[in-house]
Structure formats: structure tokens, C-alpha cells
Amino acid sequence: MSLPHPLPYPLKCRPIFKEKPWGGRRMEELFEKPLPPAQLIGESWEVADLKEGASLIANGAFKDRTLTEAVRLWGETLIGTAWKRTDIFPLLVKILDAHDDLSVQVHPDHESCGKYFPAHSGKDETWVILESDAGGAILWGFQKGTTLEEFLRRLEGGSALSILRRIPVKRGDYVRIAPGTVHALLKGVMLLEIQEPSDSTFRIYDYGRVVNGRRRPLHIEEARRVMNFDWRENPYLIPEAVETPRGKREFVVECPAYRIERWEFSGTLELHELRETARVIFCVHGRVDVEDSENSFTLMPGETGIIPAGAQFVRLTSRDGAKLVVSGAGGVNLLQ
């Protein structure tokens, strides 16, 4: 197969909608997502390159082809030099809509997968809260002093939820779910999830929920090998403001798996010398025009695009006070 375009160009992605027993219709209301009728949609996979789902490209010469095909053809020129792997797009980006409580779960790290779970891969993720009802919350980690023995005892006795930390959340909060952190998204919260490209999840507790006549399987033995009981006083990420003449910029999180920033600006931003990492741009508010020398598209609230590492020059033009969440490789300056 020959390249349909000599170099990667800015890509606009089409979402993949996933029906879930805890899902709802809020994405339709908030972001005007074209949800399939009569389904409870829990997840919108905005950028995905997995066997469980791969994003379709919505613009340009690669329109209607998958992100997996783009990665196969363009490799490092799309992904960048800062990532360890260039055979899979290094980020999985989703919107989650919790109309009901999600299961209590935990994700493994890469070391645990190499040692115990070779069929799995590690997953580090960060949540950006987009909307939250009054009293909206998540479960994040354990109460101080909890041990594995106590957790297993409580789990058997049906009181495991009582030793998990319930954390209130509101629009604009950021929470990192590092591997080993026991967590759950609770009803009334919608968020943007930026994570490593892995679907490895060990379910610990599911409220006795029945789906298609069966209870969903639990993974207690796997989870007990990776759960972290360390205490952290403040679960929220505190963005670090950076002085810039081109608008407001904040560092949200920096970890080996990714870097996340928040941009809010008027006028235009020009990006040059992007070779280290692709950037994934999610529009939270307003709208932003994305263009290079030959291609252009507009991101509306709730839409997502990819700026490839091989782009020589990309211009972003803010409309209506655009607010963006931008992610890329850890350790790389995303605004160059």
C-alpha cells in the first residue's frame, strides 16, 4: 500500500461509542455527540489504536482509514522520537459518562505485567473532570492505614466500600490514577480519560450487578498482586501555571507515560519542530482551527485531533476563547 500523503498531516478523529450498563446520554447533551439511538453510552473512544477499537480519521487524504493503518504506514513520523514504541499509537483518550457507579477496579503496572500477567500491559491514566452533578465523587485509594488483609476481610464480608476514599470532584479537577490505585468513577460525573494504550483492568467489586443475565467476573487474585495501600494526603493534581505571552498555559501532570497540559489562549499559536512527539488536542470550550500548509479542520467542544510529530508547522487559531487539553510524551515541551 502506498502512502496517500507524502507526510502525516493534522488528523481529526471520529469517536467510537461503547455501550455500557452504567452509561447514559449526557455526551449527546453536552457535546452534541451523534450517539446511536436507544443505547446507554458509557465511553467515547476519541483516540484509539487497539484491537478492541481503532479510531477512524475524519479528514484529508486518509479519511475513513483507521489510526492503526496510519501508525503502520507513518510510524515514528506520526508518533515521534520520544516514545519507546512506534508500532502502536502511545495514548488512548476517552470520554466517560457515568449514569451509574462503575465497578471498583485497579490497573497493573508494566513490571507486574512482565512478572505475573504477560498477556496484559500496564496502564497509567489521568482524569480531567468535564462535568459533575452536585455531590459528584470518585473512589480513589484506601483510607489511611488500610492493609491488604483488612481489605480482603471486608471484601468477603461485603463492606469493602467503607474503607475506600470517597473524593468529591467538580468541573476542572484533575486526578491521576497511577497503576495500583484502586478506584471507581461514580454516577453523575463525566470526564476525559488520558491513558496508556491498554485495556487491562482488574475488577474488584461490582455491586452484584447483573449484565445479560450474568454477574460480571471479578479478578481478586490478580488485583491483590498490584494494589497499592500507600497514603497520599491530596489526591488532586495541582496544575502549574507557566508564564507565556501567548495565553494561559498550565502543566497538569508529568510522568513517564505521558505529559498533559492545559492551554487557554486567544488569537493564534504556531507550533514548529514537533518531531519528538505527536500531540493529542481535546477541545473543552470554544473552538479551535487547526491548519498546516495544505490541510485544515475545526475542533468543537468534545472533539479531538492529533498533530503528528512529522508536521513541520501547525497553526492553532482560537475561537470563542478556546480551552484545550493537550497530551504528548513525558518530558517533552508540548508548546514549541
Residues that are catalytic: 203
Per the prediction, the chain carries an average pLDDT of: 93
Using 50, 70 and 90 to split pLDDT, how confident is the model at 3? very low
Is residue 73 scored above 80 in pLDDT? yes
Topology of domain 240-328 in CATH is Jelly Rolls (2.60.120)
Rounded distance between C-alpha atoms, residue 326 and residue 314, angstroms: 14
Rounded distance between C-alpha atoms, residue 310 and residue 308, angstroms: 5
Rounded distance between C-alpha atoms, residue 253 and residue 242, angstroms: 13
What pLDDT is stored for residue 6 in this prediction? 57
Class of domain 11-224: mainly beta
Give start-end residues of each CATH 2.60.120.10 domain in the chain: 11-224, 240-328
> Model confidence over 99-109: pLDDT tens digits?
999 999 999 99
What pLDDT is stored for residue 58 in this prediction? 96
Q: Name the grid cell of 79.
A: 508518533
**Could you tell me the sign of the dihedral formed by the alpha carbons of 153, 155, 158, 163, in that order?**
positive
- Calculate mean pLDDT across residues 198-215: 89
Using 50, 70 and 90 to split pLDDT, how confident is the model at 336? confident
> Model confidence over 186-199: pLDDT tens digits?
999 999 999 999 98
Question: What percentage of the chain carries pLDDT values higher than 90?
Answer: 83
Is residue 1 scored above 80 in pLDDT? no
